[in-house]
Structure 1
Amino acid sequence: MTLLNHRAEGPTSAPPLLLGPSLGTSYALWDKVAPELSITHRVVRWDLPGHGGSAADLIKAGATVGDLAGLVLALADSLGIERFAYAGVSLGGAVGLHLAVHHPQRLSSLAVICSSAHFNGAKPWQERAALVRREGLAGLAEGADARWFTSGFTVPELVQDHGDADPDAYAACCDALAAFDLRDRLPEIAVPTLLVAGREDPATPPAHLREIADAVPGSALVELPGASHLAPAQCPEAVLTALRAHFGGPVGRGMEVRREVLGDPHVDRAQARQTPFTARFQDFISRYAWGEIWTDPTLSRRERSMITLTALVAHGHYDELAMHVRAARRNGLTPEEIGAVLLQTAVYCGVPAANSAFATAQRVMAEEEGSS
């Protein structure tokens, strides 16, 4: 069976969390949020049919949100995920509501972001589906910024995703939105539920989220000032704070900075090796080393790299040194500057330590030159 295109991040031993996108976007909608959530969760974000990397033929005209929910469950099954937390934006949020009503045994908790239990009736979506089938997506993509963000804000990658989506699959998603109305089933939802509204959202205004919050027993509502429809892209830190509080885990930019400095391959390997025994240590590194020290603006990342290289040489941590030589290059240090730092260590840490450090650095830079 063909599955939804997806990206998995975080340790395989961590609690699973699935992230759903809005119509017209790809899983890139979660780029500023997913890495942080992956500190404490196995995050799986997915593309709608015909969007991003998902095949268009996964959906047909006349589709329903239930059909999309079935694709999400098939994806979870393929990954060996039985029960999971879920967060979704707009259409992705509707999928979460459907799962909570029709498959409650699969959900541990739910967050519905800039979404609705209905989407202003069938007619607007039927008209949009007909327009897209007739004229394609170019016209709609041009107006995406106004529907998605407040004035002056944009995310070009998401606008490009909109224009690149398959028109027939997009129209079928419009069919699903046209048929969606779960208002009379909301009181049945029993999983812990968070609603997140953007106060400047013209597509699903806060009243839509309040309606859900009023109907779902024990649910919580957060309204984000200055946020429009794609809140995870426009206000990632506010969304992350709300999701952390709901799903559990620390708030911060630690994983984002860790990936920027050390690179995705290294962090992915570290997370893949994580076990329940090492999970708290990995969390400690992400929160304190990367979320507090490396994010402190007092020193630049170049300066922090030079200090880190010196400390590692002083203590003879040459495996870590190799990793931070790569990080130093990523932070803008030239080979000559790295050499000058290591020469300084010869004076203050000793010639034998510097000798080993030069050998390590030379090997790393030769490997990088060979792979470029």
Structure 2
Amino acid sequence: MIRLAEATKAVFRHRRPEPWCWAVVVEAACDGTHTSRDADQAVSQAGPAVSAHADLIAESLGRGSVYRDNVLALALAGMGDVRALPALRRLADDNRLPGDRPRVRILAALPAAELLPVVRPALRREPERTALLELLALWGPAAAPAVPEVMRILDTPYAYDALRALGRIGPPAAVAADRLAAYATGRDPGAGRPHTRLAAWAHWKVTGDPTLALDVCAAAVRSGTASHGLPFHADLGPLAAAHADPVLRMTESAGAWTRVAAAHAYWRITGDPAPAIPVLLAEVDPAWTGSPAMPVREAVHRLGEMGAPAGSAASLLRGLLAQEERLSRPFAGVRILADQAYVRTLTEALERIAPGDEAAPLRRWWK
């Protein structure tokens, strides 16, 4: 037990623990007689870090409790291993699919076509499972068969997440265009200000017609609430050129999230990275612990989208990738998931900003 405690502490704390640590933790999670919830939590979040143990994990499925199957199925899903599917089907039959967004996002590594027959009945039974809508949004157009279920949720208190999923599905969700237009114009009884903005964006994504989205963005600028629509300005890009100046002014906002969103939107609208890069770099705090109140990961992601013009960020990103300890203050219970997501963002940003071999050694250890 002492060895397991040491190993579990190491995998939660370090990005690159000694290989024996993961071996011990996986063995414990696969052994139905142990009682280490920490080991279970670690394995369910590990993803590619435990790919060397995928066979043991797959062989252990169905040999223990429903709880253990949930742990092991998530571990396989995080590797994109389809051997997780039978267990996930059993879990769905028992209404035991993961219900929180961080763990549901793990499932996005599996093929949508294989998992949609599991997800669609779950949405019909429990429309309040909005984390599953997040999964559809991540799958994008591949989630098109679930459009009927998503459209039904427009009539529930969970419409906001349904609107987002429809927009991410895009043109395959064109059957929802009229309903989205009703939300965007306020004609739908369920429409409110956040719904209006999101519905207008979704209408553009499914129809290709930006008219409603541009109208909503213009209304937000006129009313002084444009900061809430900055992601939509960014998506519209040059189509939102009339709003470039107010967006640029928002890069001096008192709120860090607004500054980052405004910098990104200004670059997308104008193609000019010069005003945006200093704003984004200022938010990349080397001492960040993972607090969701700070948009550090978002700033890194946006710098990566800019590519070579953000070359001044390269040395900072390399230093962040070289750090040994994981983020310590993400949302409770998902430390490994949050840190892996940050590492992916850092690595992908660095590879786009400074393509070549420099990031390759760093990339290998999290894949």
Q: Same fold (TM over 0.5)?
A: no
Q: Which has the higher helix share?
A: 2
Q: Which structure carries more relative contact order (alpha carbon 8 Å, separation 6+)?
A: 1
Which is greater in Rg? Answer: 1
User: What's the TM-score once normalised by structure 2's chain length?
Assistant: 0.28
Q: Which has the higher strand share?
A: 1
